[in-house]
Amino acid sequence: MSFKYILNISFKSFLLVLFQVYASNLMEINEVVPNPLLIYLIFASMASENVFFATTLGFFSGFLLDLIQADTIGISSLVLVIVCFVAAMIGRENEKMTKTILGLTTGGLIAFHDFTFYSLVMIDNKFLDTLVFTFLPSLLYNLFLVIIITWLFPFKKKKKSF
């Protein structure tokens, strides 16, 4: 993995963290905000196949997101590390990533992220209310974005260099 590739992915992640914090409210629908950073991190982790790079990218993106946005530091970092780790492992195991595998993997990881994140953040609220009014709309909105992104931009894995 070249330094230029690492710098490129890291810079895009930094820009997406800033977009997530300051501009993603522009895409808000009925108080549901998309998570473009999560979608990008899943795609980048699957494309890179480098588990260390993916988990490091997830940690620093989550930590920066927590520093700027959240009241609790560490929840986004923890959840994004797990999501990026699993995405990199799946990307490593699948040589030919079809749109079906990509959609199912991304959907499952988004569901895991949202469920874990909302379970940890909204621990005082009623669980069913959180599930119905926060988790499901967020999941459906992000899955809709994944469908649009995979339709418009074909997924390409980074070629291995020996």
**Annotated domain spans of the chain:** 3-152
Tally the C-alpha atoms within 13 A of residue 56's C-alpha that lie toward its C-beta: 10
Is pTM beyond 0.95 here? no
Count other Cβ atoms within 10 Å, centred on residue 81: 20
Can you give the pLDDT of all 162 residues of the chain as single tens digits? Answer: 688 888 888 899 999 899 988 888 888 888 888 888 999 999 889 888 789 999 999 999 999 988 988 677 888 899 999 999 999 998 888 777 777 778 888 888 988 888 888 777 766 667 677 677 778 888 888 888 888 887 777 666 655 544
Count of positions (residues) in the chain: 162
CB proximity list for 138: less than 8 A, separation 6 or greater? 32, 33, 35, 114, 118
Place of tokens 């980074």: 158
Count other Cβ atoms within 10 Å, centred on residue 93: 8
Angle subtended by helix axes 99-121 and 75-93, to nearest 10: 160
The amino acid present at 32, given as its one-letter code, is V
